[in-house]
Amino acid sequence: MDKKEELLASAHAVFAKKGYKETNISDITKSIHIATGSFYKYYASKEDIFLEVYKRENIRVRQAVIEQVDWQEPIEIVVESLFSVTSKHLFGNKIMAEWSNPKISKVLHEYYFSEQGKRDNQFHQFLTAVLDKKIKELKINRRLASQLKRVYEFLYYIDCHITDSDFEGCSEVIRILTLYFIKGVVSEASVPSDF
């Protein structure tokens, strides 16, 4: 393993134990026996290495979510399961909890809302593909499909700009809005078009 990977592995272990605020660069370097100054050959700052750690942890957690949700279920059940399974994987995860930490959340949100972040976000790409598949399965008309995609984009926007530290219970409100919106879409999609 090269030094950059060693730093990343050490950072992951330290951030997972101590969280972002309580972690110092020296905590990361000391466990792999390199001088603190050597850290800066590989990363510009604690924020930079944390972003890399977060991206990897996010992929790991989201992959576990993908594997545990039954994506063949009706869309309303998929949405409920998605939120339930996700919250189980996020509970107690100090790295993922930093999404709502004002000291680092801006860095995370800016990355995930950037075009590069959206392209790199495998979970976002996966959900977009699932949404497209469900739209076809439900035979949702073009107008409603377009609205559904815009709502998903809006929820992604909210997730990247507002957290529980900005608006208490934001995650729960997103869950409720999503669930009831999907129920409304399914209800409207099931009404014959000649009504």
pLDDT digits (tens, 9 = 90+) for 37-85: 999 999 999 999 999 999 999 999 999 999 999 999 998 899 999 999 9
What confidence tier does 138 reach under pLDDT thresholds 50, 70, 90? confident
What confidence tier does 176 reach under pLDDT thresholds 50, 70, 90? very high
Give dist(CA 195, CA 185) in Å, integer.
15
What confidence tier does 195 reach under pLDDT thresholds 50, 70, 90? very low
What is the token pair recorded at 82? 């998605």
What pLDDT is attached to residue 157? 95
Q: In the predicted model, is pLDDT for residue 191 greater than 80?
A: no
What pLDDT is attached to residue 62? 96
b/e map of 98-113 (b: 16 or more CB within 10 Å)?
bbbbeebbebbbebbe
Positive or negative: CA dihedral 121, 172, 90, 126: negative
Q: In the predicted model, is pLDDT for residue 186 greater than 90?
A: no
Q: What value does the mean pLDDT of the chain take?
A: 92
Task: Tell me if 181 sits within 8 A of 151, measured CB to CB.
Answer: yes
DSSP secondary structure letter of residue 104: T
What is the token pair recorded at 98? 């930093």
| Opening angle at CA 63, ends 1 and 80, nearest 5 | 160
Closest to 72 measured CA to CA, from 141, 133, 148, 144: 133
Closest to 127 measured CA to CA, from 182, 72, 71: 71
Give dist(CA 145, CA 132) in Å, integer.
8
